[in-house]
Amino acid sequence: SPRSRRSPLPAPRMVLPGRAMATFRLALIQLRVSSIKSDNVTRACSLVREAAAQGAKIVSLPECFNSPYGTTYFPEYAEKIPGESTQKLSEVAKECSIYLIGGSIPEEDGGKFYNTCAVFGPDGTLLVKYRKIHLFDIDVPGKITFQESKTLSPGDSFSTFETPYCRVGLGICYDMRFAELAQIYAQRDCQLLVYPGAFNLTTGPAHWELLQRGRAVDNQVYVATASPARDDKASYVAWGHSTVVNPWGEVLAKAGTEETVVYSDIDLKKLAEIRQQIPIFRQKRSDLYAVETKKS
Helix, strand or coil, per DSSP, at residue 283: helix
Amino acid (one-letter) located at 220: Q
Half-sphere exposure of 136 (CA within 13 A, CB side): 25
58, containing H or E segment: strand 58-60
SS3 string of 208-234?
HHHHHHHHHHHHCCEEEEECCCCCCCC
64 catalytic per annotation: no
63 catalytic per annotation: yes
Per the residue annotation, which of 132, 148, 190, 209 is the catalytic one?
A: 132
CA–CA distance, 87 with 108 (Å, rounded to integer): 15
Helix, strand or coil, per DSSP, at residue 269: helix
Burial of 16 (0-12, 13-18, 19+ CB in 10 A): middle
Per the residue annotation, which of 37, 45, 57, 63 is the catalytic one?
A: 63
Contact between 29 and 47 under an 8 Å Cβ cutoff? The reply is: yes
Q: Please, what's the largest Cα pairwise distance for the chain?
A: 54
Burial of 168 (0-12, 13-18, 19+ CB in 10 A): buried
Per the residue annotation, which of 64, 96, 173, 190 is the catalytic one?
A: 173
Question: 73-78, long-range: CB within 8 Å, 24+ apart, which pairs?
Answer: 73/106, 74/106, 74/113, 74/115, 74/151, 74/152, 75/106, 75/108, 75/113, 75/151, 77/37, 77/105, 77/106, 78/105, 78/106, 78/107, 78/108, 78/113
Which of the residues are catalytic? 63, 132, 173
